[in-house]
């Protein structure tokens, strides 16, 4: 009970800190980041106690307290010595080295507890390479750096653990986590689910389409595909199974739909904000560039589900289980969502910072929540829901804060040693300056490097190491970063380390391997979309109306043809001929010529029409 109170109190404190700094503006750079990291790591040790439920918990408690003390001491040291650190570039002392080691150890240990061993191992490998890379042979060798220089880079400046990623986490991302948590607790979560049920429930494969819509809506706000599967999946997967859907298929639908939320604007698993900082672009340009790929992703999932539902005769959701439109559109359901989005849009339109715009959105939804619930809920109940939102926001910031702080350490080591440039040069030389070959190699490596990592951490890693290889062969920077981002993101549904599938299969009580196969089939178009970014500038809403129309046409053809190929949906009605036609259609669609997508669409629709006529004649 005492631990639960500590967790609740710290979570509310983190949420309140973010709310305050979003409203009034952040503190000075290092101070804001140090205070944020101190708060989220303290909460992290409370939420993920070492040895919980075991006999050696007292030992775990002592370790937790020691690590927490080291973090507070290190963060307090930075806050106290902010002016000296920023103006005099101090030399690393023994105390600095000890505080750096303690802070990094604490962050990596929390990373291990929250997302597993892969992430801290990667960061330790980066630190080890910085310290001992001078012993390596060949192109990977660098001049070597001692512990003092690494300490000064990691701790005594704004390039290491206090760098850009931690800064974005402590301001923009934290503000949007708060925005999302309060939106869900003010009724937005139920509104999303009800809307998904009404829109998808009565169509073929209705339960799977409900999962697609609901998970997409939740995923656009949440920062984790795995967390999304764990929340919406506990409702959608049992519903699909109850209506007779195969368990592996139910798990795959939820995993893929939840993953799609990470590539869908406006938040994109928090990566949109990080991408904007790395590229030095306005946030609005990032989300505009991601709109068409996100639409293609969800359209392809819908079409695949539809074809499977028609072939297998999957049940629709009974009418009596669907909420009425009057309930869905009730003011208390829609007003907080509309006012939240209105406040967010107003802040962006007025030219405020993204964090301040998120604060405007929070104020809008709180006003709407209080206005629509007055008389229905007591003031105590309304305050309780708001506090619950603050608490959930605080807890949601732990993983993001810890991972981005650790990722910033890794990125600083990549930049310090130049390994990113070295690997990019190796990839380009291996591919012979061929954009296609570089893209294939980079996409494959992204899938491997992203496995087991949350969206934002995976993107940061591949952006630092692999995106330069794309730009080196002439790929436009935004296209290059979205390319590596998509491949790193879909690693959560790609075997063998398909974490989102593991969680979905656990809820569905089925073997993960057939579920992973279904997930790859459902998300197949997503493996092609990144290549469309390289072939069609219009995918990024660039190049004018004709270029955009060409990209949309190519994407639409793929959305129809790829699911038809993978699900066995009939065209002519003779499978071998259908396969040949579909392969030709796909090849024409991705051929970068204004005419070929039109030919592909005409061929697809013509074959479908001929197949229907043949079927009618036989009947």
**DSSP code per residue over 243-275:** TT--HHHHHHHHHHHHHHGGGSTTTGGGHHHHH
Instruction: Give, to the nearest 10 degrees, the angle between helix 29-47 and helix 379-417.
Output: 110
pLDDT digits (tens, 9 = 90+) for 42-88: 999 988 888 877 888 888 889 999 999 999 999 999 999 888 888 87
Q: Who's near 617: CB < 8 A, 6+ residues apart?
A: none
Give the DSSP per-residue string, 155-223.
TSSSSSTTSHHHHHIIIIIHHHHHHHHHHIIIIIHHHHHHHHHHHHTTSTTHHHHHHHHHHHHHHHHSS
Contact criterion met (CB below 8 Å) for 271 and 485: yes
Q: What are phi and psi of 494, to 5 degrees?
A: -100, 120
CA-closest candidate to residue 510, choices 233, 313, 262 = 233
Contact criterion met (CB below 8 Å) for 178 and 358: yes
Q: What is the mean pLDDT of the chain?
A: 83
User: DSSP 3-state assignment of 150?
Assistant: helix
Q: Who's near 79: CB < 8 A, 6+ residues apart?
A: 30, 31, 34, 35
Please state the rounded mean pLDDT for residues 590-619. 78
Q: What is the pTM of this model?
A: 0.80
Going by the DSSP 8-state scheme, the letter that residue 134 receives in this structure is G
d(C-alpha 467, C-alpha 69), whole Å: 38
Q: What percent of the chain has pLDDT over 70?
A: 97
CA angle 262–268–269, rounded 5-degree value: 70
Q: What are phi and psi of 593, to 5 degrees?
A: -145, 135
pLDDT digits (tens, 9 = 90+) for 300-355: 888 888 888 877 777 677 777 777 777 777 777 788 888 888 888 888 788 787 78
d(C-alpha 534, C-alpha 202), whole Å: 38
The confidence score (pLDDT) of residue 54 equals 81
pLDDT digits (tens, 9 = 90+) for 400-438: 888 888 888 988 888 888 887 787 788 877 777 788 888
The confidence score (pLDDT) of residue 37 equals 94
Contact criterion met (CB below 8 Å) for 465 and 449: yes
Contact criterion met (CB below 8 Å) for 241 and 247: yes
- Please report, to the nearest 10 degrees, the dihedral formed by the alpha carbons of residues 385, 389, 392, 398 taken in order: -150
The neighbouring-strand residues paired with 374 are 377
d(C-alpha 366, C-alpha 364), whole Å: 6
What is the H or E stretch that residue 50 is in? Answer: none
Residue given tokens 């005492």 in the structure block: 2
Model confidence at 106, pLDDT cuts 50, 70, 90, reads very high
Give the side-chain half-sphere CA count within 13 A for 550: 21
Please state the rounded mean pLDDT for residues 124-136. 88
The confidence score (pLDDT) of residue 454 equals 73
Q: Who's near 324: CB < 8 A, 6+ residues apart?
A: none
CA-closest candidate to residue 493, choices 264, 288, 309, 253 = 253
pLDDT digits (tens, 9 = 90+) for 156-203: 888 889 988 888 888 888 888 888 788 877 777 777 777 777 777 667
Quick one: tokens of 109?
């240990």
d(C-alpha 9, C-alpha 43), whole Å: 9
pLDDT digits (tens, 9 = 90+) for 362-385: 899 889 888 888 777 788 888 888
d(C-alpha 8, C-alpha 291), whole Å: 37
CA-closest candidate to residue 208, choices 563, 582, 526 = 563
CA angle 596–601–603, rounded 5-degree value: 90
Q: Who's near 593: CB < 8 A, 6+ residues apart?
A: none
Q: Is 24 exposed, middle or buried (0-12, 13-18, 19+ CB in 10 A)?
A: exposed
d(C-alpha 216, C-alpha 264), whole Å: 8
Contact criterion met (CB below 8 Å) for 554 and 599: no
Contact criterion met (CB below 8 Å) for 445 and 491: no
Quick one: tokens of 545?
């109306």
Compute how many other C-beta atoms are within 10 angstroms of the C-beta atom of residue 601: 19
Using alpha carbons, list the distances in angstroms from residue 66 to 61, 72, 104, 504: 9, 10, 13, 36
Contact criterion met (CB below 8 Å) for 313 and 298: no
User: DSSP 3-state assignment of 374?
Assistant: strand
The confidence score (pLDDT) of residue 202 equals 67
Using alpha carbons, list the distances in angstroms from residue 312 to 109, 201, 205, 389, 516: 47, 17, 9, 41, 19
The neighbouring-strand residues paired with 377 are 374
Is the model more confident about 442 or about 235?
442
pLDDT digits (tens, 9 = 90+) for 515-561: 888 888 888 888 888 888 888 888 888 888 888 988 899 888 888 88
Residue given tokens 């000064």 in the structure block: 152
Give the DSSP per-residue string, 51-73.
TTTSTTHHHHHHHHHHHHHHHHH
Overall size of the chain counted in residues:
619
């Amino acid at each position: 009970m005492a631990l639960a109170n500590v967790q609740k109190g710290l979570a509310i404190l983190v949420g309140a800190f973010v709310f305050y700094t979003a409203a009034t503006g952040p503190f000075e750079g290092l101070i804001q980041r140090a205070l944020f990291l101190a708060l989220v790591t303290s909460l992290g040790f409370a939420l993920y106690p070492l040895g919980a439920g075991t006999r050696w918990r007292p030992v775990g408690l002592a370790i937790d307290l020691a690590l927490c003390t080291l973090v507070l001491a290190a963060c307090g040291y930075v806050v106290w010595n902010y002016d000296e650190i920023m103006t005099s570039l101090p030399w690393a002392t023994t105390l600095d080295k000890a505080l750096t080691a303690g802070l990094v150890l604490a962050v990596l240990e929390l990373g291990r507890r929250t997302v597993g061993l892969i992430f801290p191992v990667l960061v330790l490998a980066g630190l080890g390479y910085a310290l001992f890379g001078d012993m390596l042979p060949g192109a990977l060798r660098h001049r070597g750096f001692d512990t003092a220089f690494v300490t000064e880079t990691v701790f005594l400046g704004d390039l290491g653990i206090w760098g850009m990623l931690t800064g974005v986490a402590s301001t923009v991302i934290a503000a949007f986590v708060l925005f999302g948590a309060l939106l869900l607790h003010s009724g937005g979560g139920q509104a999303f689910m009800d809307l998904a049920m009404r829109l998808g429930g009565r169509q073929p494969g209705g339960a799977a389409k409900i999962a697609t819509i609901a998970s997409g809506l939740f995923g656009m706000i949440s920062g984790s595909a795995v967390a999304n599967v764990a929340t919406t999946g506990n409702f959608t997967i049992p519903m699909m199974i109850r209506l007779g859907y195969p368990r592996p298929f139910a798990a795959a639908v939820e995993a893929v739909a939840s993953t799609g939320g990470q590539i869908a604007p406006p938040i994109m698993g928090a990566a949109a904000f990080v991408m904007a900082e790395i590229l030095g672009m306005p946030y609005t340009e990032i989300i505009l560039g991601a709109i068409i790929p996100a639409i293609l992703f969800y359209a392809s999932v819908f079409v695949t589900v539809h074809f499977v539902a028609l072939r297998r005769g999957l049940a629709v959701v009974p009418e009596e289980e669907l909420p009425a439109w009057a309930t869905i559109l009730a003011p208390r359901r829609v007003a907080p969502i509309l006012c939240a989005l209105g406040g967010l849009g107003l802040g962006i339109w007025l030219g405020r910072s993204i964090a301040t715009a998120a604060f405007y959105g929070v104020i809008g939804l709180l006003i709407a929540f209080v206005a629509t619930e007055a008389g229905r809920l007591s003031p105590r109940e309304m305050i309780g829901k708001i506090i619950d939102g603050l608490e959930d926001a605080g807890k949601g910031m732990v993983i993001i804060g810890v991972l981005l702080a650790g990722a910033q350490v890794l990125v600083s080591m990549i930049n310090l040693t130049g390994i990113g440039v070295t690997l990019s040069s190796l990839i380009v030389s291996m591919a012979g300056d061929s954009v296609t070959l570089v893209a294939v190699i980079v996409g494959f490596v992204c899938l491997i490097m992203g496995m087991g990592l949350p969206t934002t951490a995976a993107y940061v890693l591949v952006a630092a190491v692999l995106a330069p290889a794309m730009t080196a062969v002439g790929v436009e920077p935004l296209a290059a970063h979205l390319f590596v981002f998509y491949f790193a993101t879909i690693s959560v549904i790609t075997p063998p380390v398909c974490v989102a599938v593991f969680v979905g299969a656990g809820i569905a009580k089925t073997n993960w391997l057939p579920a992973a196969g279904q997930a790859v089939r459902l998300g197949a178009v997503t493996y092609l979309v990144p290549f469309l970014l390289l072939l069609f500038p219009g995918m990024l809403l660039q190049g004018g109306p004709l270029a955009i129309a060409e990209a949309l046409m190519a994407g639409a053809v793929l959305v129809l043809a790829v699911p038809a190929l993978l699900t066995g949906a009939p065209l002519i009605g003779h499978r071998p001929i259908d396969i040949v036609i579909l392969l030709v259609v796909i090849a024409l669609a991705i051929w970068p010529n204004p005419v070929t997508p039109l030919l592909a669409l005409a061929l697809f629709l013509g074959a479908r029409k001929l197949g229907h006529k043949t079927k009618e004649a036989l009947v």
